[in-house]
Structure 1
């Protein structure tokens, strides 16, 4: 498993880049990693791909 420094992190295209409340995401074959963009040294959260897809669908209003 890769450590946090080895992952390809990215911010949402909806992030303004003005220091707002952002998260960074890194996608692997087995999990999606999420961390606070303001403090990248703190531990992040890893969730399964299916759980992430459900979360994103609910957040986007595509799943009831």
Structure 2
């Protein structure tokens, strides 16, 4: 797997501008990685390609919200 430091991390456009709510995602060969931008060396959530696609599709279709 690609090392996290070598990935292109993208900050969510819905993250707060104050730097307190930043979620970042990066794609790799296995799917999508998600992390807290304030804790770049912290835990990373790995989501497989199929579940990530289903999640994005649900958001685009106005799926359930938290």
**By percentage of residues, which structure has more helix?**
2
Unaligned runs of 5+ in 2: none
CA distance in 2, matches of 1:61, 1:49: 16
Unaligned runs of 5+ in 1: none
Q: CA RMSD in A?
A: 1.9
The structural deviation recorded for 1:18 is 2.0
CA distance in 2, matches of 1:31, 1:52: 7
Cα distance change of structure 1 residues 2 and 61 upon mapping to structure 2, 3 Å threshold: closer
Matched length: 63
The structural deviation recorded for 1:16 is 4.1
